[in-house]
């Protein structure tokens, strides 16, 4: 059986939480160290939404740079995230970052219900972020969840691209990028796109292109 973070047997919960908080603490310390040693440049701030909410889109490979740059949320965010047990450290880090609401779901693991919940929160003014080819690929193939969020709410998708001078590429399907200390990270907010029935396929192509 593949346990979810919300159905861990009572007998092993103490060990599970020990594992989860230990890894979360290590991960948070690492991204905080990178945040305060790297130089971060923002481009395209006019495309980021300050007074309204947005659906921010990245590729899965850029999760480490994203967590490093957005170490602390200043606006209300809600996320969908993979529910299986090994994701608990990530959920804890998201809580420490200031995430307000987390819905458990992904392809094959209650994704439809989670999508409905996040759409309700977007309609209520929450921002969200979507790693558009996650949680298991294919690499840089955009899935429809981010498109449906925009189509059903009228809230724009804002693709984010990252450029790093020095980084390490981790093994795995998504080729995760790990920034090296003291490097420069350029974060570009690309043109925002509202997805409709009429521009669905064109929006899919353009969002993929703008993320890099």
Q: What does the pLDDT look like over 172-198, one tens digit per residue?
A: 999 999 999 999 999 999 999 999 999
**What per-residue confidence (pLDDT) applies to 106?**
77
Model confidence at 136: pLDDT above 90? no
pTM: 0.93
* Domain contains 30: yes
Residue 50 has pLDDT above 70, yes or no: no
Question: How many domains does the chain contain in total?
Answer: 1
Predicted confidence (pLDDT) at residue 52 exceeds the cutoff of 90 = no
Does pLDDT of 126 surpass 80?
yes
pLDDT at residue 36 above 60?
Answer: yes
Residue 130 covered by a domain: yes
Alpha-carbon span 175 to 13, nearest angstrom: 32
- Residue 4 belongs to a domain: no
Q: What is the mean pLDDT of the chain?
A: 94
On whether residue 1 sits in a domain, the answer given is no
Domain presence at residue 5: no
Kindly state whether residue 2 falls inside one of the protein's structural domains: no
Predicted local confidence at residue 105, as pLDDT: 86
* Whether the Cβ atoms of residue 86 and residue 3 lie closer than 8 Å to each other: no
In a domain, 149, yes or no: yes
Q: Look at residue 20 and tell me if it is in a domain.
A: yes
* Domain hosting residue 87, numbered range: 10-210
**Cα 8 → chain centroid:** 24
């Amino acid at each position: 059986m593949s346990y979810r973070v919300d159905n861990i047997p009572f007998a092993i919960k103490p060990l599970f939480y020990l594992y989860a908080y230990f890894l979360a603490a290590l991960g948070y310390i690492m991204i905080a160290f990178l945040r305060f040693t790297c130089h971060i440049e923002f481009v395209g701030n006019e495309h980021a939404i300050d007074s309204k909410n947005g659906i921010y889109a990245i590729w899965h490979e850029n999760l480490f740079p994203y967590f490093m740059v957005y170490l602390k949320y200043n606006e209300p965010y809600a996320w969908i995230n993979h529910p299986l047990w090994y994701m608990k450290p990530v959920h804890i880090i998201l809580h420490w970052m200031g995430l307000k609401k987390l819905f458990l779901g992904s392809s094959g693991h209650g994704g439809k219900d989670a999508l409905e919940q996040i759409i309700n929160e977007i309609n209520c003014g929450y921002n969200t972020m979507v790693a558009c080819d996650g949680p298991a690929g294919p690499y840089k193939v955009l899935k429809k969840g981010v498109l449906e969020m925009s189509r059903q709410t009228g809230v724009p998708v804002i693709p984010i691209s990252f450029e790093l001078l020095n980084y390490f590429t981790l093994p795995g399907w998504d080729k995760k990028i790990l920034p090296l200390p003291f490097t420069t990270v350029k974060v570009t907010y690309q043109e925002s796109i509202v997805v409709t029935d009429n521009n669905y396929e064109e929006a899919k192509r353009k969002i993929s292109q703008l993320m890099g």
